[in-house]
Amino acid sequence: MSGWEGVFLVVLWKSLYFADKLLVLTVATEETDGFLRFMQSANYFNYTVKVLGMGETWKGGDVGRSIGGGQKVRLLKEAMEALADQEDLVVLSVDSYDLVFSGGPEEILRKFQQANHKVLFAAEGLIWPDKKLAEKYPAIRSGKRYLNSGGIIGFAPYINRVVSQWNLHDNDDDQLFYTKMYLDPLQRQTLNMTLDHKCQIFQNLNGAVDEVLLKFGTDRVRVRNTVYDSLPVVVHGNGNTKIYLNSLANYVPNTWNYELGCSHCDDDIVDLSQLKEYPNVLVGVFIEQPTPFLPEFFKRLLTLDYPKDKLNIFVHNNVSEVYHEKHIQKFWQENRNVFNTFKVVGPEENLSQGEARNMGMDICRKDATCDYYFSLDTDVMLTNRQTLKLLIEQNRKIIGPLVTRHGKLWSNFWGALSLDGYYARSEDYVDIVQRKRVGMWNIPFMAHVYLVKGSALRNELKERNVFVLEKLDPDMALCRNGVFMYITNRHDFGRLISTANYNISHYNNDLWQIFQNPVDWKEKYIHQNYTQIFTENYMEEPCPDVFWFPVFSEKACDEIVEEMEHYGSWSGGKHEDKRISGGYETVPTDDIHMRQIGYDKEWLHFIREFISPITLKVFSGYFTKGYSIMNFVVKYTPERQAYLRPHHDSSTFTINIALNNKDTDFQGGGCRFHRYNCSLNSPRKGWSFMHPGRLTHLHEGLPTTNGTRYIAISFIDP
Ligand SMILES: *[C@@H]1O[C@H](CO)[C@@H](O)[C@H](O)[C@H]1NC(C)=O
Ligand SMILES: *[C@@H]1O[C@H](CO)[C@@H](O)[C@H](O)[C@H]1NC(C)=O
Ligand SMILES: *[C@@H]1O[C@H](CO)[C@@H](O)[C@H](O)[C@H]1NC(C)=O
Ligand SMILES: *[C@@H]1O[C@H](CO)[C@@H](O)[C@H](O)[C@H]1NC(C)=O
Ligand SMILES: *[C@@H]1O[C@H](CO)[C@@H](O)[C@H](O)[C@H]1NC(C)=O
Ligand SMILES: *[C@@H]1O[C@H](CO)[C@@H](O)[C@H](O)[C@H]1NC(C)=O
Ligand SMILES: *[C@@H]1O[C@H](CO)[C@@H](O)[C@H](O)[C@H]1NC(C)=O
Ligand SMILES: *[C@@H]1O[C@H](CO)[C@@H](O)[C@H](O)[C@H]1NC(C)=O
C-alpha cells in the first residue's frame, strides 16, 4: 500500500466512523408541519435523530415571545444520563419546529473538529433574554457574540456535564441557563465551551436575514452566509424569522432546484380514484363586492369535475344592491338539487366579511363529515375543471391554487411579509407567478381561493375567529396559526378578475368590462368560432366584396338588445335628428346610438380589437384605426319601420351585425346590393357583414314582415 492510499483510507474510515458517531437530539411534543419538515431534511442527509418528549404536554412556555424552554433542557438531561459515558459520541441538540439541515453529518463533524472545543453553542448578534449580561461576554474581534441555545454540539460526556446542572422548572428559560454557565469563566474553561461565532455550523436567522443567500447546486440548495463566507449546516428560523425560514426551506436542502424541480410535490399524495368515496367538501362562495361575470363564475362552479352530491354550497352575498340577486336566484333555482346542500346568507344578515368567512369555516368545523373546506371568492375564475381534485390530491392542511390577474403580476398570494405583517415581495415571487419555477410553495399569506382540511379546522385551527382581526384584512389572519400554507402552481388553474370600477348602474353591466377584464369579456361575448376566421378562413363572401363572418356570441346579441330596449328611446326613424351634426338624416332608421347608452368608448375598442384584424385580412393593406362616429342598433318591425330604402353609407366600410334570429324572432329582413343584383336573405345571429360604404355597394334593408329584427351598425371611416 502506498502512503497516499493509506491517508485516503484513514480519511474515509474516519468520516464513516464519525458519521455513525453523531446523534441528533431534538425536543418535539407534537408532529407539527415544522417538525415534519425538519425530519425530512434530517432523513435526506441520513442523520440519526432521536426525538424527545413526543406526546408530552408542552410546558416550556411560548418560546419566541416570552422566556421558557426549560422543558427542553430537562428532557435533554434525562436523555444524556444514558449516554454520559460514550466518550466518542458527538451529540447535536437542536430545535426542530423552525429548523432545517442544509448539510450532512460528516460536514458537521468536520467543522466541529476544526472548532477544537468540547462544546459548541450557536451564536447570534442579538442578546436574549437578559441584556444586562452583554458586558460579561468575552470580547471577540469579529463574528456573533451572544449565545443561542437553539443549537448545541459537543461530546456526550461534556454535554451531560452541562445539562446535568439543570434543576429549574419546565417554564424557566433554557437560553438563560446556558448563558450563565457559559459566562462563568471557570465553567467555560473546564467544560471547554465556545460559540460558533462565524456561522460555520449554525445559522440563526434572527437579525441576520440580510446575511444569507441561497446557493443553488446541481442536486441541492444551501444557505450561504455572505458576511463570513460560510456554508452553515443548521438553519434556524429563530425569533420572528419563521416565515423567512419557510421561504428558504422552499429550496433547502433539496425541496426545489433548477435541475430537478420540485422533489417533494408528489410525497403523500392521495389517489382519489382509489378511494371508495370522494371526500365531502363545503364550498364557501363569497360575493363581497359587485363582481363581473358572476353567472359565468357559477357556471364554472357547476362544471368543476367533482361529484356534486359531495359538494355543499354556502354562499355569502354582501352586495346590498339587488343586482346580484337575480344571478344567485337563477343559479339556486336551477341547481339547488344538484348539490348536496345549498345555503345562502344575504346582505340583510349584515355580516362583516370576517364574520361570514368564519361562518363558512365553522359550518365545516362543526360537521365531522366535512372533509374539506374550499373557500372561493367570486372574482376567481377557475378555468381548470380539475382544480378541486388536484388540490385534494396534494394532501396538505392548507393549499391554494395560484391564480393571477391576466397579464399582470397580481396574484392571490404573498411571497413574503414585512416585519409589521404587510406585503413584501419575495425574490422568487415573479418566477412563481409566471410559472418559471413550478412546485408547491410555503407562503405567509393567501386569499381568494384555498382548500383547508376539515380535520385541521377541528384541530390546529380549532380556535374560532381565525378571520376576525381588528385592523388587518380578514384573509390576512390565515397566516398566523403555525400551520404551513402552500400555494401550488403545478398546473394552470385560472385567473383573478378585476372588480375595481365595476359600474352596476347599467342593465347588463358585463358588456362594459371590455377594458377591465378583456379575457372574460371575450370569452362571454365573442363568437366561439371567431378565431377560426384567421386560422381556417372561416368566413363567406355571399356577394362581391361583402364579407360575412361570426363575431358575437348569442349572449352579446341578447344583452345588447336588452340594453337597448331597457333604454327604450328609439329614434322613430325621423329625418330630423338632433344626435348628428347637421341635425338631418336623409335615410333615417329607427335606432339608438351606442353613445346614448354610454357605450361608445367600449364599442370603438371592440371594433379596434375584433373588427380591424378582419379588415386587414379581407382588404389587404387597409389598416383601419377603427374610427367611427356612427354606431347604433336598428330595430325593424312592421308596426314601426320595416325596411330601409336603397342608399350609400357615409363610411369607408360598414359592419352590420345581426342581433337575432330569422324565422324565430322575425320573418323577412335581409339586405340587397343593387350593383350586383345580390341579396343576403338569411342573416345569422351573431354574424356580421362587412362591405365598402360609399361607391360600389348601394344597398337596401329588405322588409321585416313579422316580429322584430335588430342589427348593430358601424360606419367606419377611415
Ligand atoms: C443516505 O443513505 C442512502 C442509503 O444508504 C444513500 O443512498 C444516500 O445517498 C444517503 N444520502 C446522503 C445525502 O448521503
Ligand atoms: C479544548 O479541547 C481541545 C480538544 O478537544 C483542546 O485542544 C483545547 O486545548 C481545550 N481548550 C481548553 C481551553 O481547555
Ligand atoms: C350592520 O353592522 C354595522 C357594523 O356591525 C352597523 O354599524 C350597522 O348599523 C348594521 N346595519 C344594520 C342595518 O343592522
Ligand atoms: C359588507 O357588509 C358590511 C356590513 O353590512 C358593510 O359594512 C360593508 O360595506 C359591505 N361591503 C361591501 C363591499 O359592500
Ligand atoms: C356608471 O354608469 C352610469 C350610467 O352610464 C354613469 O352615469 C355613471 O357616471 C357611471 N359611474 C361611474 C363611477 O363611472
Ligand atoms: C363553430 O363551428 C363548429 C364547426 O366548425 C360548429 O359545430 C359550431 O356549432 C360552431 N359554433 C357556433 C357557436 O356556431
Ligand atoms: C336579379 O337576379 C334575379 C334572381 O336572383 C333574377 O331573376 C333577375 O333577373 C336579376 N336581375 C337582373 C337585372 O339581372
Ligand atoms: C308572426 O310571429 C309570431 C310570433 O313571433 C307568430 O306567432 C306568427 O305565426 C307569425 N306570423 C306569420 C305570418 O309568420
Tens of pLDDT, residues 63-108? 554 556 899 999 999 999 999 999 999 999 999 999 999 999 999 9
**Ligand 8 atom 3: residue of nearest CA:** 707
Name the residue of 527, 529, 532, 555 to mutate for ligand 6: max ligand atoms within 8 A of Cβ. Answer: 529
Ligand 2 atom closest to the CA of 190, numbered from 1: 14
Q: Same domain, yes or no, for 36 and 77? A: yes
Same domain as 611, residue 462: no
Pocket test for ligand 4, best of 318, 321, 379 (most atoms within 8 A of CB): 318
Q: How far apart are CA 82 and CA 38, in angstroms?
A: 25
Is the distance from CB of 253 to CB of 100 less than 8 angstroms? yes
Q: Which ligand is nearest to the CA of 566?
A: 5
d(CA 685, ligand 6 centre) in Å = 13
Q: Which of 381, 393, 398, 369 is CA-nearest to residue 475?
A: 398
Q: What is the mean pLDDT of residues 163-189?
A: 95
Q: Which amino acid is at 299?
A: K
Dump the DSSP string for 150-213: EEEEEEHHHHHHHHTT--S-TTSBHHHHHHHHHHSHHHHHHTTEEEETT-SSEEE-TTTGGGEE
Nearest CA to ligand 1 atom 4: 46
Cα 91 to ligand 2 centre (Å): 17
What 3-state DSSP class applies to 26? strand
All three cell numbers of 16, joined, read: 464513516
Atom of ligand 4 nearest to the CA of 288: 13
For 4, counting Cβ atoms within 10 Å of its Cβ (0-12 exposed, 13-18 middle, 19+ buried), the class is exposed
> 223-274, pLDDT tens digit by residue?
999 999 999 999 999 988 999 999 999 999 999 999 999 999 999 999 999 9
How far apart CA 46 and CA 453 sit, in angstroms, is 31
For residue 318, report the distance from its CA to the centre of ligand 4, in Å.
Answer: 6
Same domain, 239 and 340: no
pLDDT at 140 over 90: yes
Nearest ligand to the CA atom of 599: 5
Give 340's Cβ-side CA count (13 Å radius): 14
From the CA of 553, give the closest atom in ligand 6: 13
Residue whose CA is closest, atom 13 of ligand 1?
45
Whether 267 maps to a domain, the answer reads no
Give the Å distance between the CA of 393 and the centre of ligand 8.
Answer: 56
Contacts of 210 (CB under 8 A, 6+ apart): none
In a domain, 686, yes or no: yes
Ligand 2 pocket test: which of 111, 112, 116, 159 has the largest number of ligand atoms within 8 Å of its C-beta?
116
Q: Residue 581 — pLDDT band, cuts 50, 70, 90?
A: confident
CA of 350 from ligand 3 middle (Å) equals 6
pLDDT at 480 (0 to 100): 60
Average pLDDT over residues 638-664: 92
Tell me: do 472 and 539 sit in the same domain: no
Using the 3D structure, point to which of 262, 297, 312 is the last residue of a domain: 262
Residues with CB under 6 A from ligand 5: 503, 505, 598
Dihedral of alpha carbons 42, 48, 51, 52, sign: negative
Residues in the chain: 718
Distance 658 CA to ligand 6 centre (A): 17
Taking the CA of residue 318 as reference, the ligand 4 atom at the shortest distance is 1
In this model, does residue 19 exceed pLDDT 80?
no
Task: Select from 198, 232, 262 the last residue of a domain.
Answer: 262
Ligand in closest contact with the CA of 553? 6
Count the Cβ atoms, other than its own, within 10 Å of residue 666.
21
Nearest-atom index, ligand 6, CA of 529: 1
Q: Which residues pair with 411 in a beta bridge?
A: 404
Query: Predicted confidence band at 3 (pLDDT cuts at 50, 70, 90)?
Result: very low
Among candidate residues 220, 357, 365, 709, the one labeled active-site is: 709
Per-residue pLDDT, 126 = 92
Asked if 247 and 437 touch (Cβ cutoff 8 Å), the reply is no
- Backbone φ/ψ region at 448: left (φ over 0), alpha (ψ -120 to 50), beta: left
148 inside domain: yes
Average pLDDT over residues 341-366: 92
Which residue range(s) make up the domain with 202?
3-262
Residue nearest to atom 1 of ligand 4 (CA): 318
Task: Give me the amino acid identity at 433.
Answer: V
286 strand-pairing partners: 316, 377
Q: Evaluate if residue 377 carries a pLDDT over 60.
A: yes
CA nearest to 412, candidates 451, 381, 440, 448: 448
Query: Does ligand 4 come within 6 angstroms of the Cβ of 352?
Result: yes
> Does residue 141 have an active-site annotation?
no
Same domain as 644, residue 554: yes
Tell me whether residue 504 is in a domain.
no
CA distance 372 to 282: 6
Residues 504-562 have pLDDT tens digits of 999 999 999 999 999 999 999 999 999 999 999 999 999 999 999 999 999 999 999 99
Which ligand neighbours the alpha carbon of 549 most closely?
6
Give pLDDT tens digits for 455-508: 999 998 887 656 544 445 655 556 566 789 999 999 999 999 999 989 999 999
Torsion angle defined by CA atoms of residues 21, 22, 28 and 34, in that order, rounded to the nearest 10 degrees: -140
Amino acid at 102: S
Q: Are strands 709-716 and 653-658 parallel, antiparallel or unpaired?
A: antiparallel
Pairwise CA distance, residues 272 & 37, whole Å: 25
Together in a domain, 541 and 649: yes
Predicted pLDDT of residue 66: 54
- The enclosing domain of 245 has a CATH number of 3.90.550.10
Q: What is the mean pLDDT of residues 132-142?
A: 94
Is 503 within the bounds of a domain?
no
Domain boundary among 262, 280, 295: 262
Type of residue numbered 70: G
Closest ligand (CA of 704)? 8
Round to whole Å and give the CA distance between 144 and 196. Answer: 8
Beta strands in 242-371 (DSSP E): 256-257, 261-262, 281-287, 311-317, 341-345
| Per-residue pLDDT, 2 | 45
Nearest CA to 123 out of 102, 108, 96, 142 is that of 142
Residues 351 and 422 in one domain: yes
Closest CA to 546 of 376, 385, 683: 683
Residue 456, H or E segment: helix 454-458
Strand partners, 342: 313
DSSP H or E stretch at residue 100: strand 99-101
Is the per-residue pLDDT at 622 higher than 80? Answer: no
Span 19-28, average pLDDT: 87
> What's the distance, Cα to Cα, between the start and end of the chain in Å?
93
Name the residue type at position 448. H
Nearest CA to ligand 5 atom 11: 503
Is 628 inside a domain boundary?
yes
Number of domains observed in the structure of the chain: 3
| Average pLDDT of the chain to the nearest whole number | 91
Looking at residue 522, which CATH number applies to its domain?
2.60.120.620
Predicted confidence band of residue 16 (pLDDT cuts 50, 70, 90):
very low
Is 523 within a domain? yes
Give the closest residue (by CA) to ligand 4 atom 5.
350
Question: From the CB of 355, is ligand 4 less than 6 Å away?
Answer: no
Backbone conformation region of residue 445, classed left if phi is above 0, alpha if psi is from -120 to 50, else beta: beta
Does one domain contain both 473 and 530? Answer: no
How far away, in angstroms, is 110 Cα from ligand 5 center? Answer: 72
Are 463 and 553 members of one domain? no
**Residue 627, pLDDT above cutoff 70:** yes
Query: Which residue's CA is minimally distant from atom 11 of ligand 8?
Result: 706
Residue 714 CA, ligand 8 centroid: distance in Å: 30
Mutate to test the pocket of ligand 4, among 291, 348, 352, 502 (most ligand atoms within 8 A of CB): 352
CA 448 / ligand 5 centre spacing (Å): 27
Q: Are residues 227 and 306 in the same domain?
A: no
472-503 exposure pattern, b = at least 16 Cβ within 10 A, e = fewer? eebbbbbbebebbbbbbbbeebbbbbbbeebe
Q: Ligand 4, closest atom to CA 289?
A: 13
Percent of the chain surpassing pLDDT 90: 79
Evaluate: CB of 500 within 6 angstroms of ligand 4. no
Ligand 5 atom 7 nearest Cα: 505
In a domain, 501, yes or no: no
Q: Distance, CA 529 to ligand 6 centroid (Å)?
A: 6
Pocket of ligand 1 (CB under 6 A): 45-46, 104
Please give the distance, rounded to the nearest whole angstrom, from the Cα atom of residue 665 to the centre of ligand 8. Answer: 9
* 535 and 682 housed in the same domain: yes
Q: Is 535 in the pocket of ligand 4 (CB under 6 A)?
A: no
565 vs 481 pLDDT, higher one: 565
Residues 492 and 544 in one domain: no
What average pLDDT does the segment 27-52 reach?
A: 95
- Measured from the alpha carbon of residue 661, the closest ligand is 8
Binding pocket residue ranges, ligand 2, CB within 6 Å: 116-118, 189, 192
